[in-house]
């Protein structure tokens, strides 16, 4: 009730406001003074709340009795359909509830959400109030449903009220009843992470595989709510780890949507399939990539997920990483050795998708990876298993101090000395494909874009020669000679050799 305390904007006259405030504070003396001055005891504020509501909600017996003695209407409702009786049940004031009942309050009342006395007491966990309602009031429907189709049993489960739940079970409530969305108490407890209640419901024997209207089991609900303890409890109790919803989503799909590593790990440990496709053809890996959960992506990679699986748009996880500029995730996928040449429904590879979206860093990373793995394929004897595991190779931009002098030379070469189209000649000389060159030159920075294109190509080339353990100075010299620029080759070699600390032979990146 605190959100609607009496205030200057509540629509009350000054004396009416004072009565509301006095009732809330149980200032009976001031209330009597105001009543003697003929203040309207049924005056309503901006949410139709009267003084009796404040007194009942706060549990003030004297204030309640005084108001009832001076013609306060016992069944007045506020804008939410809450009357004094419902408020006393909500806040657990048993003696107030008894006073109101004895004053003729209607016991079969409900607010605008359909909550009855039983709902209010169960949701807030007031067992003495529940006992009074069930034992002393007549014709109370134990399984009466609110407007969402939820009984008091549902609400006790959803809000983690274990003692209230036990009382309702002991009173003979229906354990298996579903709300309008098809949820059982097990679904609601799992969705909200009510571990103790969930254990009790499992012990009672509720069906673990019961599905709601969308086909979710309680395990799906726990996974969607990112409650790993509840997930583990349900798995230990025998829930099916690979059950599918109507949209063909597994529990692992929900873990991927929320990015919960703990939930995903528990599911995988219990045999959760990492390659199930939902109604859109998306695997958990697709969802983890799309929603940018790098650590979960790595977990799925380590669990053996199919990295080349395609969804209904024929997109692989790498296509999604390229489309959404997920650079860290793309690095993981590239290091894991994904197929770079698969095409989506538009006929585009991940490289083409990255280029179309102007994700420059990703374009360069994919080209580096393509060249790296092509070298591994062409020269299997030189293959380093550690590199294929992603332990020593990286495709991100090089910021290492030891390569900085050479990178500075390459920048000067591209921005000052290479003529238009010469960067392409060098690229083809060094084995860049048409697709590589096309992807690089899609970037447009003006009439001198070729300078940036050349610089990017040279950095990609540098990644390849250092990974191969070759001498960058020697390979660069030979390339410039091959395109007819011996003069530039000689001057560039002198600059490289003159540079302090310039590496003559770089290690793999």
Residue 322: its pLDDT value, please?
98
Which two three-digit tokens encode residue 87? 């408020």
How far apart (Å, rounded) are the C-alpha atoms in residues 503 and 453? Answer: 24
Question: Are 295 and 329 in contact, with CB atoms under 8 Å apart?
Answer: no
* Cα–Cα dist 108/273, whole Å: 50
Domains of the chain: 398-498 (1.10.533.10)
pLDDT at residue 9, as a whole number: 64
Q: What is the largest CA-CA distance in the chain?
A: 109
Q: What are phi and psi of 323, to 5 degrees?
A: -65, -40
Which stretches does DSSP call E strand in 265-365? none
Task: Assess contact for 242 and 276: CB atoms under 8 A.
Answer: yes
Beta-carbon contacts of 485 under 8 Å, excluding residues fewer than 6 positions away, are: 422
Residue-level pLDDT at 390? 44
Say if residues 219 and 239 touch (Cβ distance below 8 Å): yes
What was the pLDDT predicted at 238?
Answer: 98
Q: What CA–CA distance (Å, rounded) separates 86 from 66? A: 19
pTM of the model: 0.90
| CB 245 within 8 Å of CB 220 | yes
| pLDDT single digits (tens) 128-164 | 999 999 999 999 999 999 999 999 999 999 999 999 9
Q: How many residues does the chain have?
A: 509
Judging by beta carbons within 10 Å of its beta carbon (0-12, 13-18, 19+), is residue 168 exposed, middle or buried?
buried
Calculated CA dihedral for residues 445, 446, 450, 452, nearest 10 degrees: -30
Distance CA 143, CA 131 (A): 15
Q: What is the pLDDT of residue 496?
A: 86
For the chain, helix (H) and strand (E) counts, in that order, are 29, 0
List average pLDDT for each run of 10 residues in the chain, which is 509 residues long.
57 96 98 97 97 98 98 97 99 98 97 99 99 96 98 99 99 97 99 99 98 99 99 99 98 98 98 98 99 98 98 98 97 97 98 97 98 89 52 85 93 95 97 97 90 97 94 96 96 82 41
Tens digit of each residue's pLDDT (9 = 90 or more) over 190-207? 999 999 999 999 999 999
User: What's the confidence (pLDDT) of residue 6?
Assistant: 53
CA pseudo-torsion sign 301, 306, 311, 317? positive
């Amino acid at each position: 009730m605190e959100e609607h305390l009496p205030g200057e904007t509540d629509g009350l006259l000054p004396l009416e406001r004072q009565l509301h405030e006095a009732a809330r504070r149980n200032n009976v003396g001031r209330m009597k003074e105001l009543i003697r001055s003929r203040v309207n005891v049924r005056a309503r504020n901006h949410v139709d709340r009267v003084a009796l509501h404040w007194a009942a909600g706060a549990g003030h017996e004297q204030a309640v009795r005084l108001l009832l003695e001076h013609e306060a209407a016992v069944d007045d409702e506020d804008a939410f359909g809450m009357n004094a009786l419902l408020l006393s049940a909500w806040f657990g004031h048993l003696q107030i509830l008894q006073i109101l009942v004895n004053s003729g309050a209607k016991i079969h009342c409900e607010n605008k959400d359909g909550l009855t006395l039983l709902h209010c007491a169960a949701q807030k966990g007031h067992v003495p109030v529940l006992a009074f309602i069930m034992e002393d009031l007549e014709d109370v429907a134990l399984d009466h449903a609110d407007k969402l189709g939820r009984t008091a049993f549902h609400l006790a489960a959803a809000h983690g009220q274990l003692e209230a739940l036990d009382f309702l079970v002991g009173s003979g409530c229906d354990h298996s009843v579903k709300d309008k969305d098809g949820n059982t108490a097990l679904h609601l407890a799992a969705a909200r992470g009510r571990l103790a209640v969930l254990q009790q419901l499992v012990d009672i024997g509720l069906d673990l595989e019961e599905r709601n209207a969308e086909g979710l089991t309680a395990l799906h609900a726990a996974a969607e709510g990112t409650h790993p303890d509840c997930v583990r409890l349900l798995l230990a109790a025998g829930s099916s780890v690979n059950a599918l919803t109507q949209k063909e989503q597994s529990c692992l799909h929900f873990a991927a949507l929320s990015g919960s590593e703990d939930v995903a790990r528990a599911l995988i440990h219990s045999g959760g399939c990492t390659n199930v496709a939902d109604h859109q053809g998306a695997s958990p890996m697709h969802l983890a990539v799309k929603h940018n959960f790098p650590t979960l992506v790595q977990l799925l990679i380590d669990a053996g997920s199919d990295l080349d699986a395609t969804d209904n748009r024929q997109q692989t996880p790498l296509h999604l990483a390229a489309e959404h500029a997920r650079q860290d995730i793309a690095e993981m996928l590239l290091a894991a050795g994904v197929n770079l040449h698969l095409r989506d429904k538009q006929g585009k590879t991940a490289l083409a998708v990255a280029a179309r979206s102007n994700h420059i860093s990703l374009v360069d990373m994919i080209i580096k990876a393509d060249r790296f793995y092509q070298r591994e394929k062409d020269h299997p004897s030189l293959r380093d298993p550690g590199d294929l595991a992603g332990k020593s190779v990286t495709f991100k931009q090089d910021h290492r101090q030891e390569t900085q002098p050479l990178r500075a030379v390459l920048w000067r070469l591209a921005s000052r000395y290479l003529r238009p189209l010469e960067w392409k000649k060098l690229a083809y000389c060094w084995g860049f494909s048409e697709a590589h060159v096309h992807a690089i030159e899609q970037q447009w920075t003006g009439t001198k874009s070729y300078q940036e294109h050349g610089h990017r190509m040279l950095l990609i080339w540098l990644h390849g020669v250092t990974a191969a353990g070759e001498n960058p100075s020697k390979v660069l010299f030979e390339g410039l000679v091959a395109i007819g620029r011996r003069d530039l080759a000689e001057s560039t070699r002198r600059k490289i050799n003159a540079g302090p600390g310039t590496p003559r032979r770089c290690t793999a990146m």
